[in-house]
Amino acid sequence: MTTSITETRADGVAISETDVVMMAAALWLASAAGHYFDQLASMPLAVVMVVVVALVASVAGVTAWIVGRRRAIVIVLIGGLVGFGTGVRAERGYEPVRPAVVNSSADVVTDPIRRSGGTWVVLRLSDGTRVEAGAFGPMGHRLSRLAFGDAVSVSGTVRPFDGRAWLKSRHIEGAMTVETLEKTSGPAWFVAPAAEVRRLIVDGSQYLPRELRPLYTGLVTGDDRAQGSGRRAVFRAAGLGHLVAVSGQNVAFVLAVAGPLTRSLPRRLRLPFILMVLLLFLLVTRMEPSVLRAVTCAGISTWAALTGRERSGLSVLAVACIGLLVADPFLAVVVGFQLSVVASLGILSVTPLLIDRLPGPAYVVQPLAVTLGAQIAVSPLLVVYFGAIPLVTLPANLVVGWAAGVVMMLGLTAGILAGLLTRVGSDSMGATLVVAEPHPLHDVSAWARRFGSLLADWLQLPSEILLRWIDWSATQAVFVPLPVIGLSVALVGCALGVAWFVRPRAGWMLRTVEVLTLGFALSIAVMATPSAPDSPSELRSGCLWLPDVKTLIVRPPCGSDLAEAVISARIRSVDLVVVTGGGRPVEAVAALREVADARLVVAPPLHNVVDARRVEGPLDLRLPSCMLTASDGDVRCGQIVLQLRPSSDRENLSVEVCSATLGESPVVDCRHQALQEVDG
């Protein structure tokens, strides 16, 4: 349970946990409001003044009523003024770049990512401006070889962004098309250890199956750049997307791994050592907002424990938020930071109440309470930002959460050791290449390589088993027939949850009403949950689904978002995929294969879709189809014919879906029937 503590300063003024929490909340809300000050400024002054006065009076009045102290009003006002001032200052200090030709030195502040056929990386130019630099072809390949912390000399054309607000929260002020690039040096001395640890973890992942490596690096370091869009869609749909985004859980496991060495050090060295470990992990994970929050909380908690100044979880979280928001006001509007803080708040405040009220053994109640507490707290944000919450999130997290934690710990121990063995094998191979003639050193180094490879393979075997379990569980979870919770159902659930917590022990009548209300809300969610379409329909723009023959026609602009549509429609397998050419068929088919079983893919002669069969000439595909007739209710079977015709340039296919005649009669009516139904 979280206990309220009070610290008394030398001047006799008591600072309670409630004071710190109120100041953090006021600072956060006001800082977020400061980012939208320019929008408010466009409104009439009288309206703005009325809104501000009413809001401040309401917050101060409610706070004073809850806390019962006048000082609460002062605390809220101070936090609000500081937060609003820092928010406005940060917003007005952000200035998009002007179009220009730039030739400058720069530091790489993110790892390169592949997007839309090119490579993109964030650079900090010599004047402090941050730009997202991108290139295609050979120059894009040179960009892909950079890493966080590298120093480069770059030239190109910069331009402002067009309305991508999320880049503002990362302090990125423009885009840059790279024309020339030269790496001048590697990471700075304080970044080099983190870069080395990250490389060791990546080297150790080479002993895992290729399809599991992106999940492994995502769990251990948060690097999910190599994860396909289809697998991303699967984990999001299962409510497990947070697993591949490093968070407070990762920091807790880092401290657990460093615990034995920490306890062996003299007391005066423990705090510097833990702070060094936290800083190293912060650099390894590229300073994500959720990690910033977790590392700051861990540092404050460690300082309080080692100095004998007890702090509760809520006060630590509040102090961390105050410090981070003052240092970087843009964090107030970063979704990742909001989810991280609110989830921690739910674990600290809701989880203890659930542990007291949920029946069952401790080894079941505690993980269930932690998962429930975090999910209940973040539900409003998830509904606001993403529109819905998959109800399968709770069981999926219970099933794979423990496995993800074990993989994190193995990655920080056995994974790094496997990376070291890889290095030893590479070094011994390089040493033997120096000796041209047969020499006993060849046999020794070959034996060392085989032994190191075998040992590293065994070290990574537990991680491979757990990764397969996590991946399989996520794939199965998206097809579990549980509803997706929308705004109305979420509000009903939250209201019932609050009532359940605050009400005294109630009689059977009130409990019955609560159960019936929740059941009614869940019934609405079940009825609103989409099912597999039973008639020709567009899953996404250009992605045509023919359910009678389990055929998917991929036309422009169908792309990687096809994976989300297939998951939403609960389509497990596709017998035939027809790629008409143009658009982004490679991304669409790759994403589809990650979420469903695509048995046969056909494409134009000059296609670049992996493992697709070429349609070299006119082809009629006769697909058996059975349907229920409305007249007599019988099931009759016939054929649907797909007429495929390559274009003259051999880059596209024309597709005609011909209507089927039931029974044994030949197909006589061949029109664009299904396509016209959808397009019309």
pLDDT tens-place string over residues 260-284: 888 888 888 888 888 888 888 888 8
Model confidence at 505, pLDDT cuts 50, 70, 90, reads: low
Q: Considering only residues 172 and 9, tell me which one the structure prediction assigns the higher pLDDT.
A: 172
In 3-state terms, what secondary structure has residue 565?
Answer: helix
Model confidence at 662, pLDDT cuts 50, 70, 90, reads: very low
Contact between 189 and 149 (Cβ < 8 Å): no
CA-CA-CA-CA torsion for 305, 311, 312, 317, nearest 10 degrees? Answer: -100
Average pLDDT over residues 614-626: 80
pLDDT of residue 470: 93
Model confidence at 472, pLDDT cuts 50, 70, 90, reads: very high
pLDDT of residue 631: 45
Q: Where are the beta strands (DSSP E) in 346-460?
A: 389-390
Average pLDDT over residues 80-90: 83
pLDDT of residue 518: 63
Average pLDDT over residues 533-544: 79
Please name the residues in contact with 438: beta carbons below 8 A apart, sequence gap of 6 or more. none
Burial of 137 (0-12, 13-18, 19+ CB in 10 A): exposed
pLDDT of residue 34: 79
Whether 8 has a pLDDT exceeding 50, the answer reads: no
Amino acid letter, 585: P
Q: State whether the Cα torsion 57-62-65-68 is positive or negative.
A: negative
Model confidence at 52, pLDDT cuts 50, 70, 90, reads: low
Whether 46 has a pLDDT exceeding 60, the answer reads: no
Quick check: bond before 557 cis, omega within 30? yes
Q: State whether the Cα torsion 412-215-486-482 is positive or negative.
A: negative
Average pLDDT over residues 417-443: 61
Q: Which of 44-53, 137-146, 528-537 has the highest mean pLDDT?
A: 137-146
Average pLDDT over residues 586-605: 88
Tokens read off for 430 = 């390089």
Model confidence at 520, pLDDT cuts 50, 70, 90, reads: low
- Indicate the domain borders of the chain: 6-93, 100-188, 484-528, 537-679
Query: Domain 100-188 adopts which CATH fold?
Result: OB fold (Dihydrolipoamide Acetyltransferase, E2P) (2.40.50)
Contact between 121 and 107 (Cβ < 8 Å): no
Q: Considering only residues 160 and 309, tell me which one the structure prediction assigns the higher pLDDT.
A: 160
For residue 654, what are the β-bridge partners?
Answer: 645
pLDDT of residue 156: 92
d(CA 302, CA 320): 13
Q: Which of 367-371, 421-425, 433-437, 479-483 has the highest mean pLDDT?
A: 367-371
pLDDT of residue 53: 57
Q: Which of 13-27, 192-206, 664-678 has the highest mean pLDDT?
A: 192-206
Q: Where are the beta strands (DSSP E) in 129-186?
A: 130-135, 151-159, 174-185
pLDDT of residue 91: 81
Provide, rounded to the nearest whole percent, the portion of the chain with pLDDT above 90.
Answer: 8
pLDDT of residue 433: 45
Q: Where are the beta strands (DSSP E) in 534-603?
A: 537-540, 543-546, 551-554, 573-574, 576-579, 597-598, 601-603
For residue 123, what are the β-bridge partners?
Answer: 108, 131
pLDDT of residue 13: 47
d(CA 595, CA 574): 11
Average pLDDT over residues 171-181: 89
d(CA 636, CA 629): 7
pLDDT of residue 123: 93
Q: Which helix (H) or strand (E) holds 395?
A: helix 393-410
Whether 354 has a pLDDT exceeding 60, the answer reads: yes
Cα R_g (the chain), whole angstroms: 29
Looking at 68-169, list the stretches that DSSP marks H as alpha helix, in order from N- to C-terminal side. Answer: 71-93, 137-144, 165-168
pLDDT of residue 158: 92
pLDDT of residue 226: 81
Neighbours of 345 (CB within 10 A): 21
Q: pLDDT digit string (tens) for 122-159?
A: 999 988 889 999 999 889 888 988 888 889 999 999 98
